[in-house]
A and B are shown apart, each in its own frame.
Chain A
Amino acid sequence: MNMSTANSALRAEGVSVWFGERKVLEDVNLLFPNNKVTALIGPSGCGKSTFIRTLNRMHELIPGAGLAGSIYLDGEDIYGESVDAVNVRIKVGMVFQKPNPFPTMSIKDNILSGLRLSGRKIQNAEELVETSLRRASIWNEVKDRLNDQALSLSGGQQQRLCIARSLAMNPEVLLMDEPCSALDPGSTRRIEETIIELSQSMTIVIVTHNMQQAQRVSTQTAFFLAEDNTPGGVVEFGLTEQIFNGPVDQRTNDYVNGHFG
């Protein structure tokens, strides 16, 4: 791959991960270029969700977690001694597998929750709510009931609300951990459209089990695999088209063509 480090917002170097004594990821090296979508694919249990959580320091919240290697955001190691995890998470937003809007807040308050929770002043609340909801393409569905409870929305709408909530923080990088796995095809399509639109202004990393989805939204793809009783790792990493149409590694070929996993 001919991508220089200079235009990469995010870069993982030699990342290994442990849970207690068990090593689950070994020596992951990945580049995430600015304003591009990177898909992480691989069978369940290969460590891709674990890896994505290391990118905004959510990994360390799990008891027994361990990590070696470095992750650079704008040239600075986010695991550096003087770096505050809270600041990393403000710059690197995350959308989870299961929609998790705050149940005690209204739709509007959910959008503003990120700013309130990180203790920042809110200027032009109305405007911020509208632009965030528009960017997550859910504005038209909720504009007349911004004060309703977030849980009154459908699952697909809740997930887009969660995306909007992350966008309100204006992150540089957005991490998505199987954001469509609990959604119907219609909601999935709308979220994919949102992802493509967002990628014009931010770097996106998405974990997905859906091969078609990876092909539709991403420009580059990393294939993770954990073979029997060994830590997971990246088998192949390259442009999405190459991974799906002409993979170098036989195992990648088998996986993307549905022979295992």
Chain B
Amino acid sequence: MSESLQDSIKPWLRASKSLRPMILLVSIIPLPAVMISAYLLKIDPTMSFLTIFFPIQALGAAIIGYRAYGKRGIGDALLVVIVTFLSIFVMVMLLSVLWSVIFQGFQAMSFTFLSQNNVYVSTTTSLEYGGVGHAILGTLLVVAITTLLALPLGIAIAIYLTQSQSKVRGLVRTLTQAISGLPSVVAGLFILSVIAIDPLFQRSGLAGSLALFPLMLPTIARVAEEALKLVPVDLRYAALALGAPNYRVFFQVILPAAKSGLITALLLGLARVVGETAPLILTLNANNGTNWNPFEGGLATLPTYIYGYLGSNYTNSQSRAWGAALILLILVGILFGLARILSRSKSLKSKAKK
């Protein structure tokens, strides 16, 4: 009842309502065509969606569009079909990646897998023994050090680019962007060469963090710059007109106003480095045991753990790799969730007060 009322007070939907049966028809007709072609011509079903389903549907939509709205209807209808098709395509890809990680990783999942390390584990050891606790710790240590280095500097670059009127800004911006084009393996090689030259500098968690640093920095700087740019210049003027020195304007007015954008910058920076494998393989010794010291000794991380086990021929080892991949996904999810809660908490509180 309420739905029909909702429809009746939306007169602009009437025209499209009369088209619904035809749209349904066009959506269904290509399906048997795909099945027949897959059966008779032995075309791969996935391919046939692209080569048969999609063109038939586009053609059908164009005809309906033309009948309903004339020439302009063709363009509108084709746009709808293309956009819908592509978004479903991306969605299916994303979900299938997620699904395979969850499905295959789930077998390895257990409390021991989360908490134990990899000591005394061979390629054939049962999944009941051993786990990735040491690698979770390693990833957290390495990423935390990288963040400690890259976040202040990245935000500082963003501040410089948005708040100063210096002529060097263009150069700084270009160089920062240039770093973001740096292949991660090159960043790793650079640190590796430093290790080779300097006898005091060893392969360690710190070396790994330094290799990840140039990957995280430009992401944070870039996104933080956009976030700071979005703060209206009115606010800056308002604060300056009250007799505030520049640094107070920045810390008390601009930074709070850009807070959620800056947290997004941090998130994207984290997402950029948390799964990086190549720089860590080059700069970090693998370790099966738990190591709390990021400045000395080998350190296992989730990406290098996955890399180590995925190539194995043994089912149990592959399961371990998938399990670690699932945990990496969950870890990223938790980080994202936390940051979202942090950036939102204040506005929620003020709403609750009302």
Which residues of A are interface residues toward B (Cβ below 8 A)?
56, 58, 61, 63, 86-91, 93-94, 96, 98, 100-106, 113-114, 116-119, 147-149, 152, 162, 165-166, 169
Contacts and interface: CB of A to CB of B under 8 A. Distances in A.
Interface string B231-261: 0101101111111110011001100110100
A117 B241 contact: no
Contacts of A56: 241
Contacts of A102: 235, 238-239, 253, 257
A89 B245 contact: no
B18 interface: no
Contacts of A61: 237, 240
A116 B252 contact: yes
Nearest to A168: B242
A103 B257 contact: yes
Contacts of A165: 242
Q: How large is the interface on B (under 10, 10 to 19, 20 to 34, 35 or more residues)?
A: 20 to 34
B296 to A, nearest CB: 43
B353 A58 contact: no
Nearest to A97: B234
B350 interface: yes
Q: Which of B165, B241, B248, B249 has the most A CB atoms < 10 Å from its CB? A: B241
| Chain A, interface SS category | mixed
B257 A166 contact: no
A86 B234 contact: no
B20 interface: no
B42 interface: no
B239 A113 contact: yes
Interface of B: 165, 232, 234-235, 237-245, 248-249, 252-253, 256-257, 259, 346, 350, 353-354
A148 B237 CA distance: 23
Nearest to B258: A104
A149 B348 CA distance: 12
Given A117-B253, A119-B248, A147-B353, A93 B238 contact: no
A61 B238 CA distance: 12
Nearest to A109: B252
A105 B239 CA distance: 13
A136 to B, nearest CB: 15
B237 A100 contact: yes
A78 to B, nearest CB: 13
A123 B141 CA distance: 45
Contacts of A63: 165
A113 B240 contact: no
Contact of A58 (B240, B245, B350): B240
A119 B245 contact: yes
Given A102-B253, A148-B353, A149-B350, A93 B241 contact: yes
A122 to B, nearest CB: 14
A86 B244 contact: yes
A119 B249 CA distance: 11
Contacts of B232: 100
Given A117-B253, A147-B353, A149-B350, A87 B243 contact: yes
A114 B241 CA distance: 9
Nearest to B238: A100
Contacts of A118: 242-245, 248
A60 to B, nearest CB: 10
B241 A58 contact: yes
A169 B240 contact: no
A6 B142 CA distance: 68
Contact of A98 (B234, B350, B354): B234
A104 B257 contact: yes
A119 to B, nearest CB: 7
